[in-house]
Amino acid sequence: MNDVSIIPYSPEYQPDFKRLNIEWISRYFTVEQHDLEQLDEPETYILPNDGQIFLAKLGDAIVGCVAMVNMGETGFELAKMAVSPGTQGKGIGKKLCVAAIDYARQLGVKTVWLESNRVLTPALTMYASVGFREVPSVPTPYSRADIRMEMTL
């Protein structure tokens, strides 16, 4: 969608960031404590140490989001990817993902990784299309995570 712009997070968008994520997580899984921490306080749990959130804006509406979380030696985690159900399948998720990867590349990040679930086939296909590959899983705070993917920049 050419009329979708990708913008950086500012505190006024926290309710949108939370709404988009609660919407998709609760549709497929259970919202967990770590989700709520990140969604309620992104300034504490996502944005420190060059973390960033990108939002997809269509007109006046925020229709998508993705977070980049600095996880130290393991690289950056691509997290909290969400696109409103009515705007899915239009390339918004890919546009967000590419913006997040470009951001990490500009910072000199070497590895970007994500955790997901195999039931989310469209998301996994999109992640693979931008260069993510499945790697062995490691312990995670999310019970829903059953696949880990990463890419080297």
Instruction: Let me know the angle formed at the C-alpha of 28 by 38 and 60, rounded to the nearest 5 degrees.
Output: 60
pLDDT score, position 31: 95
pLDDT score, position 144: 87
Structural domains in the chain, CATH included, are: 4-152 (3.40.630.30)
31/96 Cα distance (integer angstroms): 22
pLDDT score, position 2: 65
pLDDT score, position 142: 81
pLDDT score, position 139: 76
pLDDT score, position 58: 96
From first to last of its 153 residues, what are the pLDDT tens digits of the chain? 569 999 999 999 999 999 999 999 999 999 999 999 999 999 999 999 999 999 999 999 999 999 999 999 989 999 999 999 999 999 999 999 999 999 999 999 999 999 999 999 999 999 999 999 999 988 777 888 999 999 999
Helix axes 14-28, 33-40, angle to 10 degrees: 160
152/91 Cα distance (integer angstroms): 23
pLDDT score, position 1: 55
Strand partners, 70: 76
